[in-house]
Amino acid sequence: MAKKRVTMNKVREIIRLHEEMGLSYRKIARALRISHPIVSQDIAEVKAAGLGYADIKTLSDTKLLELLEKRRNETERYSKLSERFPYLAQELKRTGVNRL
């Protein structure tokens, strides 16, 4: 079961604590009661999108989520994998093919 994504308010707070307060990932995680890999991942996603706290504090939750999800779906690894989906779907339809 996948974990729930942190709220956009927490993402904003993560970025604020990192940029304005200069806290480490672990201190931010402890303060917000979330895991430090989530803190690291959210900071990396915001940096990859070229945004800072000044940019994201005025964005709506839906717009911020849209920007972060867009970055996540543009990864090179996913694009290479998605090219193989039609072939894999065809192979799974064959008789005697396991889904292991």
Cβ distance 73 to 28 under 8 Å? Answer: no
Percent helix, strand and coil across the chain, each to the nearest 5: 65, 0, 35
Surface-to-core class of residue 49, CB atoms within 10 Å of its CB (0-12 exposed, 13-18 middle, 19+ buried): middle
Global confidence as pTM = 0.67
pLDDT higher than threshold 90 for residue 21: yes
pLDDT in tens, 34-80: 999 999 988 998 888 888 899 888 888 888 888 877 766 667 787 88
Q: How confident is the model at residue 6 (pLDDT cuts 50, 70, 90)?
A: confident
